[in-house]
Chain A
């Protein structure tokens, strides 16, 4: 079919293209503004901003006028977010460590084991769960889950305390990376599960039938056909979940004690997270501190963008074969 474009068509195409390019520009603008506004911080602290572990600032209202004395005092300020980056990774990895098996198991159950009657209910529930705001996960985490999480943490510390990551200095397990990671896992599971379920549901029926026709069991069919078929999709879903876990703000804000110190004790009531640090420090930040917080935002932006680009390139690469 040959379509001849008239002038009106050309205008139409230009308008549409401009609209589509707004998304591209928006992403570019976000990056540009973050870089522009964080320039001071990076030029002052350089690479140390990412590796250092000190955050100190003198007080001043970002929207109010700065007095000369305060501006001078601010030269003593030091900003760096090393422990927060490590903390973000630690909490996100704990969450993914729990969420991936749960999602794969849950998705396989829904697609292949659930009785017909509850299949639709489970799928709807899954969709709804993915829509629960993270703030509510945070409230639930504090009021309902924390006592349970603390008990698990106590048990882990009790039995496996000889392993360095499960040891603690003080036996205060609430608001620890472990408990926060558990809540984050609950938050990520709906996302990863619905991706995994979607992928598994597209497994060609006759491949599964073939497994049965060869005398295989359901597990046999799942292991030799369903799991290999859905592997890249599930990995992409897990990356999406990881991106979400790394960027989560309020739930972590409510669930975690932010401490500017490297720690390898996940049960200890001290951790870090870039996103919630931004929200926490933002309220009383000085002008200079705002620049540092934006620099932290840029670091977070770059990390999640890389994770998400990996995820979407896996998705795009695996779609044509499906």
Chain B
């Protein structure tokens, strides 16, 4: 008893998980589900429940019935727990099915009209009903990118400034600014379009990419401000006090110490904002409309954009135009998800940098 047990030398002792579901139980569960699935299928044949959704309802009801029956010999507690497990699982499935269906639909319907020219051609010399190897959405992609760029150039500095205000300056209106930014996130996109229509389009006398970009900026600002604030909050106070301890003024600390630390995080804020607005349709229907050719001048009249391109192709209503709309949706979705993934990637790096930098700062303080 007094001897030290040799570390990690316990012959014959193996880690066990007696609480885990065993393989045979899992197999049994799976085969039970398969049987239930088949029974549910039979139910759809002989009752008014029909198609996939009817099958799903039947499947759910059979499962609940089985759970209740199976656990009736146990207490009410176990029965209720098991029933709610089935209920929550089915709610989750119902919640997730539409999005999965959308992903699949966009892929299946969207790939048909894709060819390299889709990204480079416009619709000046082709009609929506032409074969898929003529015409494309290049002009719409370019238009979208120009408008999003305009929106980014405007909102990124403003969003970062309001983030700095909320985290560094912490002035008297902190509460109000945060409250308004949060409320602005809910401004309906069509209202943003109306606002720019009355303030920009009407005075200028024409629709333009500039107006579209400004409308997107209104919608983008809350996302950028909020993300920037959250990113700046990640900067630990250690780092700021290290700046002050070295005799730096507040503005120098903010610009030389705080901002570089969260550079990638602030870029994330911009990218998230882009992902948020690149698919907006309603404000563009009121500000930049749609056109068939490339337009490079933001002040030069109506501009096509991916969303309005998709919208008008779909409203055109023929089989071929609808296919073009779906392809546009595929491109749009890929763009949105691409930006989104990029933002997540960068965001993770940002959090990491903030952490290492705070460690450096602490060491710095210890030394001084």
Q: Which residues of B contact A193 (CB under 8 A)?
A: 95
Q: Which residues of A contact B266 (CB under 8 A)?
A: none
A20-B166, A131-B337 known; A294 and B279 CB under 8 Å? no
| Cα distance A26–B192 in the bound complex, in angstroms | 10
B84 touches A132 (CB 8 A): no
| Cα distance A144–B109 in the bound complex, in angstroms | 11
* Residues B86-102 near A (CB distance < 8 A): 87-92, 94-96, 98-102
| Cα distance A101–B165 in the bound complex, in angstroms | 38
A106 touches B182 (CB 8 A): no
* Contact mask for chain B residues 177-192; partner A; CB cutoff 8 A; 1 contact, 0 none: 1111111111111111
Minimum CB distance partner of A275 in chain B: B190
- B171 within 8 Å of A by Cβ? yes
Residue in B186, B192, B340 whose beta carbon sits within 8 Å of that of A243 in the complex = B186
A189 touches B194 (CB 8 A): no
A5-B250, A250-B282 known; A308 and B186 CB under 8 Å? yes
* Residues A283-322 near B (CB distance < 8 A): 293-294, 297, 300-301, 304-305, 307-309, 311-313, 315-316
* Residues of A contacting B: mostly: helix
- B53 within 8 Å of A by Cβ? yes
A19-B165, A135-B311 known; A275 and B99 CB under 8 Å? no
- B81 within 8 Å of A by Cβ? yes
| Cα distance A313–B311 in the bound complex, in angstroms | 36
Q: How many residues of B contact A (CB 8 A)?
A: 98
Q: Which residues of B contact A23 (CB under 8 A)?
A: 158, 162, 177, 180-181, 184, 221-222, 225
Minimum CB distance partner of A37 in chain B: B198
A279 touches B285 (CB 8 A): yes
B190 touches A297 (CB 8 A): yes
User: Which one of A37, A106, A136, A275 has the greatest number of beta carbons of chain B within 10 Å?
Assistant: A136
- B66 within 8 Å of A by Cβ? no
B81 touches A26 (CB 8 A): no
Residue in A1, A6, A186 whose beta carbon sits within 8 Å of that of B249 in the complex = A6
Residue in B105, B165, B195, B205 whose beta carbon sits within 8 Å of that of A20 in the complex = B165
Minimum CB distance partner of B245 in chain A: A1
| Cα distance A34–B194 in the bound complex, in angstroms | 8
A309 touches B333 (CB 8 A): no
- B17 within 8 Å of A by Cβ? no
Q: How many residues of A contact B (CB 8 A)?
A: 99
A105-B91, A247-B186 known; A135 and B310 CB under 8 Å? yes
- A42 within 8 Å of B by Cβ? no
Q: Which residues of B are in contact with A by a Cβ distance under 8 Å?
A: 48, 50-51, 53, 77-78, 80-81, 84-85, 87-92, 94-96, 98-102, 105-106, 109, 157-158, 160-162, 164-166, 168-169, 171, 173, 175-192, 194-195, 198-199, 202, 205-206, 218, 221-222, 225, 241, 244, 249-252, 254, 275-276, 278-282, 285-286, 307, 310-311, 314, 322, 325-326, 329, 332-333, 336-337, 340, 344
28 interchain pairs (CB within 8 A)?
Answer: A9-B251, A12-B254, A15-B161, A16-B164, A20-B165, A20-B173, A23-B180, A26-B218, A102-B91, A105-B90, A106-B91, A109-B89, A113-B88, A125-B96, A127-B340, A128-B99, A133-B336, A136-B106, A136-B279, A139-B326, A219-B81, A222-B84, A244-B186, A247-B191, A249-B189, A282-B285, A300-B190, A316-B175
